[in-house]
Amino acid sequence: MLMKKDKIIRLFLSPIYDNEVFFIFMYLLGVINSLIEFIILGYRLSIFIFFSQILDVYLMCVFLILFPIKIRGLARWFVSSFLYILSIVNIFCVEKFRAKLGPEIFNVILETNSREASEFWDKYIGCDIIWSSAFLIVVLFVLHLLILLRRYSLRKLLNIRLGNKRVLYPSLIQFSLVLFIFGCCACSLSSRINLIRLLLAPDISSLDKYVDNKTLNTPLNNFAFSFKMHQLSVNGLNVLVKSQDKIQIEKCSYLCDKIVLIIGESYIKTHSQLYGYNKMTTPRQVARTMNNCNGRFIVYEDVISPSNLTSTVFKNVFSLHSVEDTTNWEQYPLFPVIFRKAGYNVTFITNQFVKSLSTDVFNFSGGLFLNDSRLSQLQFDHRNNSAHRYDEDLLQDYDSLCIYNQEHDLIIFHLAGQHFDFNKRSPDSYKRFSADDYVDRKDLDKAERQLVADYDNATFYNDFVVDEIISRFENDNAIVIYMPDHGEECYDEIHRMGRMPSGYYSAEMARQEFRIPFWIWCSDKFSAKNPSLLELINSSKRRPFMTDDLSHMILFLARISCQYYN
């Protein structure tokens, strides 16, 4: 009977015995992640987190013994390497962005192209990884490798002898280990049931009640959650495509022949001269406000973005869905589709979401509905097919495509704007500012002052690009709308650079990352033909506005009526 119990215990522990070094180091990996998150983020650290991590690693060992012995070692190295990489990414995000690996960061990674990834590495990582907490993971990996080479065995520890006397009794230790694992199961049961429910959730709206720190307490669980969110979003494409078939145009007055939307990138409102900035970053826009006496350049004073993430902004701007709506955004039509059905010729010129062979799968959210082949055909008559180093090259793309312009056109420009790396967003001829221009910023060192200068140079160059776009429509019955996707952090109210992909924002963060510049320019012909509409635009410039309702504004300016217009 005792031998039978011993066999059962050994069978229960066989996943650990067969993957003993993996078990120890993967558990240590989870502990290090939790401790770093606790130290940097200040999360409440519960002892139950460490129990649940033991259960997680044990279940991974069970998964590994399902592989044939010949390939089990390869599978073990694949899983452990993946977890090491995942942990490095998670700790880097915790250190740099004060946020764990989650859907927002997962989206950012998927919508980052090779150019942005290279610039990100140069700016944020490089050799700095040696001085970051992520280096602990590298050290752990090296130790893991060295111990494997020394062929360390846990079973030897459980069978230590001193002379002829047995110091430790294997059966007792093994039985205690079994009881401990069962205890971990009991402590972690509710959180692991929540994780299973989360991964089986049918839609995004049903995920919230299963998301908490006990459930998402490891980088692997956060990755699984993020992947699930991505999967549900991709599945939403089919719903979005069907939603476009429901559009019925009631009437269109064609008040404006050329409607132009310019979408900028990462634009801090307080770095624009239009809003009182003390550097000449937008001289051309300022000149347009001063050189007309009939209010053709209207600057809005209180505009915010629905998110500080490009993909979320694009979904809310392009869809007639508003953030206060209770239904999902996929159930609403996209405004370019409405314009095409109303008889407008629609052109999309982007320096970020360029359609490529890999876009349909990997360019998440922004490219999700802009580059899906079905939705792209429904939304756009023409679009550019390559990205450029500088935004001014988009003007050449437009000049080559404008031969296809019709009597009524909707043209959408999507710029790289002030996206990091700021230094790479403007050519040398537009490097107007340097670190020496910010010597009054005693709170910044020279490198930080140079980053602010680089950002302002990118803003100065952006001013040139948008002015060139306006100039192409000065002789038309045209209206040009400018909005960036979101703001940015660049050592303004708080001492940091870059946006915070997090659910919690302080007042200072919200002001910099969500408040955005916004203006409308009207040509002489448009102003002359629509004086009452011009007066209405002027009168609305002081009203609070969120860009999730921009699609309704554009439909109003075009006088397009349909069942979705609000």
CB 185 within 8 A of CB 169: no
pLDDT tens digits along 526-541: 999 999 999 999 999 9
How many CB atoms are located within 10 Å of the residue 323 CB? 12
Cα–Cα distance measured from residue 489 to residue 129, given in angstroms and rounded to the nearest whole number: 22
To 10 degrees, what angle do helices 2-18 and 170-199 make? 60
SS3 at position 304: strand
Which pTM value belongs to this model? 0.71
469 vs 480: CA distance, rounded Å: 9
Residue 359 main-chain phi, psi, to 5 deg: -65, -40
| Beta bridge pairs of residue 522 | 479
Integer angstrom CA distances of residue 95 from 99, 128, 214, 445, 498: 8, 12, 21, 20, 13
Q: Which of 214, 153, 162 is nearest to 188 (CA)?
A: 214
DSSP string covering 144-196, please? HHHHHHTT--HHHHTT-EETTEESS-HHHHHHHHHHHHHHHHHHHHHHHHHHH
CA distance 110 to 119: 15
Burial of 276 (0-12, 13-18, 19+ CB in 10 A): exposed
Q: What is the pLDDT of residue 106?
A: 74
Encoded amino acid at 342, one letter: A
The sign of the CA dihedral 401, 406, 412, 415 is positive
Q: CA–CA separation, 268 vs 276, rounded Å?
A: 12
- 356-414: pLDDT as tens digits: 533 333 334 456 788 888 899 999 999 998 889 999 999 999 999 988 889 999 999 99
Residue environment code for 350-381, b if the CB has 16+ CB neighbours within 10 A, otherwise e: bbbbbbeeebbeebbbbbbbbbbeebbebbbb
Answer yes or no: are the C-beta atoms of 480 and 521 closer than 8 Å.
yes
Q: Assign residue 42 a region (left: φ > 0; alpha: ψ between -120 and 50; beta: otherwise).
A: left
pLDDT < 50 stretches in the chain: 2, 157-158, 160-169, 294, 357-365
Dump the DSSP string for 352-402.
Answer: S----TTHHHHS-THHHHHSSHHHHHHH-SEE-----SSTTHHHHHHHHHG
β partners of residue 419: none
Q: Which amino acid is it at 536?
A: L
Report the pLDDT value the prediction gives residue 326, as an integer from 0 to 100: 82
